[in-house]
Amino acid sequence: MKDIIIRDATAEDIPLVAKCTMAAIGLYDFSPHMSQEQQRSYDFLTEICGADNTLYSYRKARVATISGTPVGCLISYGGESYADARELTFGMAEKVLGIDLSDTETETCDGEFYLDTMAIIPAFRGYGIGKKLLLDGIERGRRGGYGKVTLIVDKEYANLKEYYASVGFKGDREMRCFGDTYIKMEI
């Protein structure tokens, strides 16, 4: 595998960031064809990822590339920006998609650097790209002066909890997000 380069996302990466966001929340598997419902979600997320102040803005994303080809991304940000971005993003989701996310607990807060959403294109999984993105996110949080770097993981995916633990994340606090039970972890 060639060198993996991690860089800031650009406007050209918005389609990838939208697909990675969809994949991270279980709405997409990177197959070449999308259902009508997936296309609707993708169109919405492309708009969300292209905006400046949303939770999933491309401006908050770091992209992993191999030989210049984008193969995955991680969206992360300081917790102090979460409340306003959440209100905007969730409000758009309710208005455009009719999704009520009011039962979702607060995922992060001031003083935390939050690793929100990560996905790798399936053909490139198993090469350490996700781990490089995680380590990059942790380093960005530390350079930013944050005392904690946090993330949440769906309780149903024990293998992901173990994966994050292998990088040093710990925690067992359960919380309700997006209609499911998640575990908050920190490093």
Q: What is the pLDDT of residue 98?
A: 74
Q: What is the pLDDT of residue 21?
A: 92
DSSP string, 85-141: HHHHHHHHHHHHH----TTPPP---TTEEEEEEEEE-GGGTTSSHHHHHHHHHHHHH
The whole-angstrom separation of Cα 124 and Cα 130 is: 10
Domain of residue 39, CATH code: 3.40.630.30
User: Residue 64: phi, psi to the nearest 5?
Assistant: -95, 135
Is beta strand 180-186 parallel, antiparallel or unpaired with respect to 148-154? antiparallel
Does the pLDDT of residue 4 top 70, yes or no? yes
Q: What is the mean pLDDT of residues 122-144?
A: 96
| Each residue's pLDDT tens digit, 85-97 | 999 998 888 887 7
Q: What is the mean pLDDT of residues 108-127?
A: 96
Q: What is the pLDDT of residue 143?
A: 97
Q: What is the pLDDT of residue 179?
A: 82
44 CB neighbour count, 10 Å cutoff: 18
Does the pLDDT of residue 1 top 70, yes or no? no
Does the pLDDT of residue 125 top 60, yes or no? yes
Mean pLDDT of the chain: 93
What is the percent of the chain with per-residue pLDDT over 90, rounded to a whole number?
78
Range of the domain at 34: 4-186
Does the pLDDT of residue 136 top 70, yes or no? yes
The domain tally of the chain equals 1
